[in-house]
Every structure is written in C-alpha cells, then in structure tokens.
C-alpha cells in the first residue's frame, strides 16, 4: 500500500515546490515576465550551506543579448552580515536579486554561496536556503494562519504563532474575531501594506533560511510604521546573510556594507559613514532623500 502512496506523496511535493516557486516568482516579477528556462544539471548535488557567504565574481547579465544590465559586478557578503544595495532606478538592483534566486543564469562570471556555484547545485536546495521578503506579498484567499504556515510545510499552530510573534503581527491577529482562522485575501479581510509585509516576515521566520533577500516596498508607509517594520526586519536579518534592496534611509544606515549600483556597475562600497565622507553618489542620494524625508515629516 505504501508503494501506491509514495508517488502521490511525490506529486504533492512537486506541486508544493512549484507553488512555492510561483508565489515567490509572482512577487519578484510582473506576471507578464516569462523567465528563461533554468534547469538542473544532470546529477547536480544539493547546495550545502554552512555559514552562508555570498559572493559575486564579475557577473555579467542581460535579459536580452543586445543590452547588458549587469556589467561585471563583484562583491562578497560575509556570513551573517547585511549588504544594502542602493542606486538609481533601473540600475539593476532587482535583477541582481533575481540572479541569486536563480530565475536567470548570468552570461558571464559566477555567483557562489559558501564557495558553490549556484548554477551547479539543485534549484530546490538553492531556493530552500533563500528567503525572500518581497515588495508586495501575495496572500491566498485562505486563513491568516494558513498564509503564515505556508512558509514551511507541516508547521504546527504553536510554530505559526511564534512566527507571528517574531513578525509582531500576533497582537493584530489576536484582536481579529476569528483569530488565526480569519479569512484574508481578495475575498476576506484586506490587510494593509505593512500587515502584508509582516505576514511575509512571519513566513520567512518559519522557513528560517540562512540567506535572506529583502526587497523593500517603495510605496510610502508612514514613518512610524516604517520604523516598526525596520525593527522587525533587523531582528529577522540578525546573524543571517542578508541582501536588502533599499529604498529607505532607515535601512541603509545600520547595514554592515552599502553598495551603490549605477548603470549595472558597482559605483561605491562602504559603510554609511565612509560613503558620506567620500562625498560621491551615495552622499548625493542621501542628501536628496534626507531633504524629502524632512518635507514628509513636516507634512505628517
Ligand atoms: P528600481 O529601483 O526602479 O526597482 P532596479 O535597480 O531594481 O530599479 P531592475 O529592475 O533590476 O532595476 O532593472 C534594470 C534594467 O533591466 C531596467 O532597464 C529594466 O528595464 C530592465 N529589465 C528589468 N526586468 C526586465 C525583464 N524581465 N526583461 C527585460 N528587461 C528587464
């Protein structure tokens, strides 16, 4: 009898993997995008993650051969540290994140996690090592408990509640008439941008990946919500190798390293203080954002 069930089990697993892939993909791409086919090499081993060092070595990439988007990008994120990527719109920040998750393969250079070329390992093992908190979280038309528990198959109610606590959405849920059974999504309760982001954070806490990609929402949250979410994200990324695509001042200041990407190339790299002293592109971006921020705060 077991033999009869095993294939069904497998199908379930395949289905869940695909579904997970789709959710992350929906979040990272416009649905109109059709990513190029990326496949496992025959006999590819699983990625073995130790401390979680992430390394780009002279990475070149373009969505089409005529137009190179990343033009030889190199950097290393030491295990457990945070690299914030900033830069003008269209510089290639999201593209870089998509390459880490292997939606596409680089045309030149290599991306390594703990010394292993990510194109040489199975995609399933790569993707299970990486958590993504996207700009816009897709919620299922299901309960809020299900939406959080989705981060890991077979999560218990206690684990779901602990993750909700870690993402500071536990009190919000406790105040709902149906608690964790409350329906959300299009046909249920509509959550705010900040609340949806917390659901994504809770999912990620359940997944507990060694490598984290945070794609900050560009949409304006009021500064109090922004600070509260930032606190939560800081806790989640502590001791995890983290890449943050940063749009806000509050994120970059605390990052171990900041990298300025400009037109597909690394323009500058350093800490907040180092880059301000340098008086280059970062200092300019900072001054502009600080000015905008002051105007916003005056208006609030
Ligand atoms: P932003 O801060 O505005 O989000 P970004 O730095 O994240 O910008 P990317 O989204 O990486 O920039 O885009 C870099 C370039 O690649 C842009 O010129 C964009 O038009 C192009 N691009 C992005 N996605 C695709 C795609 N799927 N197919 C073709 N070109 C794309």
pLDDT tens digits, one per residue of 91-103? 999 899 999 999 8
pLDDT tens profile 248-272? 766 788 899 999 999 999 999 999 9
- Ligand 1 pocket, mutate which of 71, 90, 217 (most atoms under 8 A from CB): 90
Whole-prediction pTM: 0.82
**In the block, residue with structure tokens 């995008």:** 33
Q: For residue 88, what pLDDT is reported? A: 87
91 lines ligand 1 (CB under 6 A): yes
Q: For residue 187, what pLDDT is reported? A: 80
89 lines ligand 1 (CB under 6 A): yes
In this prediction, residue 29 has a pLDDT band, given cuts at 50, 70 and 90, of very low
Q: How far away, in angstroms, is 173 Cα from ligand 1 center? A: 36
Which residue, judged by its Cα, is nearest atom 30 of ligand 1? Answer: 63
Q: How far away, in angstroms, is 140 Cα from ligand 1 center? A: 27
69 lines ligand 1 (CB under 6 A): yes
Q: How far away, in angstroms, is 44 Cα from ligand 1 center? A: 30
Whole-angstrom distance, CA of residue 154 vs CA of residue 193:
27
Select the more confidently predicted residue: 220 or 232. Answer: 232
Please write down the long-range contacts of 144-149, taking CB distance under 8 Å and 24 or more positions apart: 144/173, 144/176, 144/180, 144/181, 144/182, 144/183, 144/184, 144/189, 144/199, 145/180, 145/181, 147/184, 147/185, 147/199, 147/203, 148/199, 148/202, 148/203, 148/206, 149/206
Complex ipTM > 0.90? yes
**In the block, residue with structure tokens 């200092």:** 283
Q: Which of 254, 218, 287 is nearest to 81 (CA)?
A: 254
* 208 dihedral zone (left: phi>0; alpha: psi -120 to 50; beta): left
């Amino acid at each position: 009898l077991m033999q009869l069930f095993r294939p069904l089990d497998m199908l379930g697993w395949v289905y869940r993997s695909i579904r997970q892939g789709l959710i992350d993909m929906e979040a990272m791409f416009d649905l109109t995008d059709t990513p190029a086919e990326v496949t496992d090499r025959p006999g590819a081993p699983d990625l073995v993650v130790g401390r979680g060092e992430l390394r780009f070595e002279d990475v070149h990439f373009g969505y089409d051969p005529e137009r190179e988007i990343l033009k030889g990008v190199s950097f290393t994120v030491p295990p457990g540290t945070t690299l914030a990527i900033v830069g003008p719109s269209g510089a290639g920040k999201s593209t870089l994140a998509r390459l880490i998750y292997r939606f596409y393969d680089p045309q030149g250079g290599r991306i390594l996690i703990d010394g292993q070329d990510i194109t040489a390992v199975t995609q399933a093992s790569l993707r299970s090592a990486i958590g993504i908190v996207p700009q816009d979280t897709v919620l299922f038309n299901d309960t809020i408990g299900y939406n959080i528990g989705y981060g890991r198959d077979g999560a218990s109610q206690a684990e779901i509640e602990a993750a909700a606590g870690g993402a500071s959405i536990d009190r919000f849920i406790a105040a709902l008439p149906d608690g964790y059974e409350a329906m959300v999504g299009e046909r249920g309760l509509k959550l705010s941008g900040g609340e949806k982001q917390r659901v994504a954070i809770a999912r990620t806490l359940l997944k507990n990946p060694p490598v984290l990609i945070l794609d900050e929402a560009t949409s304006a949250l009021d500064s109090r919500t922004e600070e509260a979410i930032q606190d939560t994200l800081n806790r989640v990324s502590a001791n995890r190798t983290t890449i943050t695509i940063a749009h806000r001042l509050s994120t970059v200041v605390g990052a171990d390293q900041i990298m300025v990407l400009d037109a597909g190339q690394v323009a500058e790299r350093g800490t907040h203080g180092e880059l301000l002293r340098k008086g280059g592109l970062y200092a300019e971006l900072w001054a502009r954002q600080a000015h905008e921020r002051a105007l916003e705060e005056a208006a609030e």
